[in-house]
Every structure is written in C-alpha cells, then in structure tokens.
Amino acid sequence: RLAGDRMTGPTAAVRDIVYDRDGYRCARCDGIDGPFALHHRRPRAAGGSKDPATNQPGNLILLCELTCHPDIESHRLIALGMGWLVGQHQTPADVPLMYRGRRALLSDTGTITYQEDTP
C-alpha cells in the first residue's frame, strides 16, 4: 500500500516468507480455499507505520479474507487474547499467538516455535 509517496506494506520478499511459512493456508482456521488477506497483528495505524517491525514476518499472518480476517477485526478483544492482534507497544515476534490451534511464536526470519516445544 502507498501512503503519500512511500510504500507502507511488506516487501515482496517478506510476503513470500509469510506465504511459505503459512503454507498458503489460514493461520487461524487452517483453511486452504482462499482468497487470503495478509494481516498485520500489530496494526499499522492510520497512514502506515515507520516502525520496521510492522512489515516483518513476526507481525504478519495469512487469514481467510472473507471469514477469519473480518471476524478478527470485528472481535478485537478476543483477537488480542489469542495473539492475532498485538498492542502498539509490543514486539509482535515476542507475543505468542494461537496458530492453527497451538500456541506459537513467529520469528522475523519466518520460523514458527510452538510453545510446547520450548524447554
């Protein structure tokens, strides 16, 4: 997306990382039918954000564009509790989320660490 003369969305390389990490499936329901929305867990705020973490893989997930994404946006308190939304002063890669039914952390390099896998 453009805000004035600057891009506010992720680069093509970051989009590729997220699509590969999420396996072209919804991070919430595991649906494969698409279309998909690239969802910012920590919202960009009006006009985009200059914070580099905003468009990193740890802040982005694929969601079903017609069902899961609108549901998350319409039920923000639940989404915050599930980690699908993150507060403006939090680092998304440090905030666990419910990822296809399992608690996980998403790194900015495109990896998933399930919490039950950590010592």
pLDDT value of position 80: 96
Q: What is the pLDDT of residues 38-68, one digit of tens each?
A: 999 998 875 556 777 889 999 999 999 999 9
Q: What is the pLDDT of residue 68?
A: 97
Return the amino acid letter for 15.
Answer: R
Report the mean per-residue pLDDT for the chain: 89
pLDDT of residue 2: 41
42, 88 contact by CB (below 8 A):
yes
Q: How would you label 33-54 residue by residue, b for 16+ Cβ within 10 Å and e otherwise?
A: eeebbbbbbbbbeeebbeeebb
Residues of the chain falling short of pLDDT 50:
1-5
